[in-house]
Amino acid sequence: MLRGDKVGLRARHEDDIPILQAELNDDVVTYSRSDTRPWRPVTPGSKHSQFVVDDKEQRHVSFSVVELGGGTLVGDAVLWNIDNHNRSAHIGLGLLPSARGKGYGTDVVAVLSHYGFVVRGLHRLQIETLSDNPAMLRSAERNGFVREGVLRSSAWVMGEFVDEVLLGLLAEDWMPKSQRVQGRTDRSEPT
């Protein structure tokens, strides 16, 4: 398990799937705001749920997000479109409604950044989020992501086009959270 301050990212368990399906996919508005594909109903227990993990898939790594205290499932996180040649990937996450507003999103972005830069040796991480998603924008920026542009009217969301904000973070600009909190800037110092 990868650990942050508040959450852990672990492999997906079979009993996570119905919870994620019910709370993240079956909510049409939430799904429409978080995925580029159009919403469609998925039969309970289907092998075609977006939350079923294919362990052979190399370009996506999916995690279940759990509270560190008790191991309660609080969401889904993914490093997607991993490009090993250009050493880049995208970050995505979805928190269950009961887990929102508790700082978990910022911690998930920190843990995914650690995974991408330290474990995978990537050079660039990218986040795209709707321009009216202040929680994700804050989570990204608190972890050092920089706004690189706006994709005007690029997302079709519940009957209207919405702008997306593109944020990026390079390995050389990333600083582990422990160093940011302590105000350390020399990455060669022991942590």
Range of the domain at 23: 2-186
**Using CA atoms, how far apart are residues 36 and 45, in angstroms rounded to an integer?**
23
Q: What is the pLDDT of residue 187?
A: 38
Q: CATH number of the domain at 169, please.
A: 3.40.630.30
pTM for the model: 0.90
Q: What is the pLDDT of residue 172?
A: 96
**Using CA atoms, how far apart are residues 164 and 27, in angstroms rounded to an integer?**
21
Task: Give the residues of the chain that fall short of pLDDT 50.
Answer: 181-191
Q: Is residue 191 part of a domain?
A: no
Structural domains in the chain (count): 1
Q: What is the pLDDT of residue 177?
A: 62
Q: What is the pLDDT of residue 183?
A: 41
Q: What is the pLDDT of residue 182?
A: 43
Q: What is the pLDDT of residue 102?
A: 96
**Using CA atoms, how far apart are residues 47 and 53, in angstroms rounded to an integer?**
9
